[in-house]
Structure 1
């Protein structure tokens, strides 16, 4: 039976859209299929040139630089008419000693025709690729991504239409040029920063923009404590913040009154094993110096949020490096993630600082048992001093969960261990306003047994039938107890 070629019968415009979704090398190869496909490349509005797809005859040829890649790109450009508009250009290449003027020409050509998106990535070869100010000048560009072995000198650029900027591990970008790039983008709304290249001053440690609404920052310098002194963020229209770094000595987060949601992963630069985990010490800091860093101003700068996500590292950073916890009067949703090597010491003071909290979501209940866990968990570390035992009795009368307004409790990655079951019982015993509990399991085994254990737990309020059998719903290994 003869196969029918249904795709070739599609209109040219549709085929052009399809070819725009695949790598340009693949799209160009379709020209050999038939006469019908020979000239369809002129309809492509999305070009992706990736040198890693080029097969070089030998290692020497690859290192020295072959004309295979540039010849292919030149051939594709020759197919474009003067009126052909390319909306998106993705260019991934390897840097070499030679100055590749053809790369500049390719980008200039498309920018002159109204390019909307530009994504540039340079893999480190035996040199760097210098990007001049003239190369990054466009009145139409809306989205720009730079990553890899580039050196930028762009302090005075101007992107009047740029709304999304991604700077991902750019080797040769320092603080002043980064600031110039931000200042030259007056309508920028989304900024993504990944910086694991230690250059001084580091880009991403100072972010100031009146237009940014969404900011994602990932700074990773684990072995550079002395370079974590000051960081600044000023964004009066910011709505979403995703911030990850090792703790800084001083934070200045200002003008964040419009911030709605924050996701924080603040890592300590040193181990906490000798702090707060045994009876050998009578204070938080043991017999050593206080842990480096102070997140007090960071926490104080985000009090307008309604949703907060905290990593296990952030929980410890909040405990060790926050002098005072502000009141989050607007916070409705709190999401935390647990780790077996990280403690919950900050949870009592954090929950007491959220008077209107509605939903508490916890990923994993297993955490490190410490002498400072407080009454948010069911941990029972052994105490050797009578005065410490008396303190626990007093705290039990004023449990932070009893005054918490949480109505919805979401637990994910529940494994059903004794510690987890004990923690669930503690929540149900203390949360007075609880109406709904949602539990997601991290296993497909013994689901019925795990559900039965949860259903057998006593409830604080007889008025709220949280574990009513008639309301149990199982969906994707999640039991909803309402």
Structure 2
């Protein structure tokens, strides 16, 4: 069977139960075609690869409960709004690709947000990216902060959906890919974030309207991580991105300059990452400072791969690559390659 449409979930279950040696399952549901007709459950011990696209933003009840009873599954590609409850049995899972959307965005209590580009990508807590230039006035910063606050709801209690059991159920994987929205969903699971002892490769995509708030915790809870892959470095600036990046809003930076704090140990300095793969690099100030932060703290780094999103025949491409090559590196064994 290559493809089949299910008029109701009873037909779906009847077919799945009639395929005792099924190894590859792909389910694609979205409200542009049909109303919800999937029960949210996959119970099949033979499945090894599974891809699910379940997207019904206008049907909240279609995302009530999700059950994955697939003990031999090795690869999961799952795109959906976060369900209210997950029950998963994924003991053999090796690789997961998640695109999870929260029903509500992060609230202001979870971190001040600053969407501007280079002007708000300021000093990092470890001091590796110190820059005393400050071009924005207090009034401009206050106006930005006020505008940003209005875009957020008031209480984390309003968050709909709970991915805690799903995150716990994939804690033994070796490779994890996360979308920008998934980073925020993982942030809501931070209080019960499991250890990812077997995780060797972490890959995530950035978006200028989504933060890196959970990245420091993910790195800390992945003690054997060897490869870090990031598609795009520009992300939403918040107060609590932690020390995985140097994006401290200038309003906070001014306070920091008035009273010097004791520098904490950067989470990157305890990270065992050997390979850093960055794509979509344009050579902006923000991106250069982020690369400077990585190179100054990743002590085990051996290979840095940078995909430059500029015309190689233009001068700005050469300036961007030369600037990266001149950045100091804490690892004397690291080598930078461009693609």
Same fold per TM (> 0.5)?
yes
Name the CA shift for 1:311/1:455 in 2 (closer, same or farther; >3 Å): same
- Measure, in 1, the Cα distance between the counterparts of 2:163 and 2:259: 28
State whether residues 195 and 204 of structure 1, in contact with CA within 8 Å, keep that contact through their aligned partners in structure 2: no
- Measure, in 2, the Cα distance between the counterparts of 1:429 and 1:390: 25
Instruction: State the secondary structure of the residue aligned to 1:402.
Output: helix
1:340 paired with 2:198, answer no
Unaligned runs of 5+ in 1: 1-142, 147-169
Quote how far apart the aligned CAs of 1:261 are. 0.5
Aligned equivalent of 1:266, options 90, 95, 100: 100
Structure 2 residue aligned with 1:145: 3
Quote how far apart the aligned CAs of 1:392 are. 10
- Measure, in 1, the Cα distance between the counterparts of 2:94 and 2:245: 28
CA RMSD of aligned residues (A): 2.7
Unaligned runs of 5+ in 2: 113-144
1:276 paired with 2:107, answer no
Quote how far apart the aligned CAs of 1:386 are. 10
Quote how far apart the aligned CAs of 1:204 are. 6.0
- Measure, in 2, the Cα distance between the counterparts of 1:241 and 1:431: 30
1:435 paired with 2:332, answer no
Q: How does 1:9-408 map to 2 (within 5 A)?
A: 143-146=1-4, 170=5, 173-197=7-31, 199=35, 202-203=37-38, 205-254=40-89, 256-272=90-106, 274=108, 276-278=110-112, 286-287=154-155, 289-383=157-251, 393=261, 396-408=263-275
State whether residues 186 and 214 of structure 2, in contact with CA within 8 Å, keep that contact through their aligned partners in structure 1: yes
Structure 2 residue aligned with 1:453: 323
Structure 2 residue aligned with 1:133: none
Quote how far apart the aligned CAs of 1:364 are. 0.2
- Measure, in 2, the Cα distance between the counterparts of 1:327 and 1:336: 18
Quote how far apart the aligned CAs of 1:288 are. 6.1
Between structure 1 and structure 2, the one with the greater Rg is: 1
Quote how far apart the aligned CAs of 1:290 are. 3.3
- Measure, in 2, the Cα distance between the counterparts of 1:413 and 1:320: 27
Q: Which whole-Å deviations, capped at 9, do the CAs of 1:127-171 have from their partners, x for residues lacking one?
A: xxxxxxxxxxxxxxxx3312xxxxxxxxxxxxxxxxxxxxxxx3x
- Measure, in 2, the Cα distance between the counterparts of 1:338 and 1:262: 18
Quote how far apart the aligned CAs of 1:407 are. 0.5
State whether residues 237 and 259 of structure 1, in contact with CA within 8 Å, keep that contact through their aligned partners in structure 2: yes
Divergent runs of 4+, >6 A: 385-392
Instruction: State the secondary structure of the residue aligned to 2:103.
Output: coil
Quote how far apart the aligned CAs of 1:417 are. 0.6
Quote how far apart the aligned CAs of 1:389 are. 8.8
State whether residues 383 and 389 of structure 1, in contact with CA within 8 Å, keep that contact through their aligned partners in structure 2: no
Q: TM-score, normalized by length of structure 2?
A: 0.81
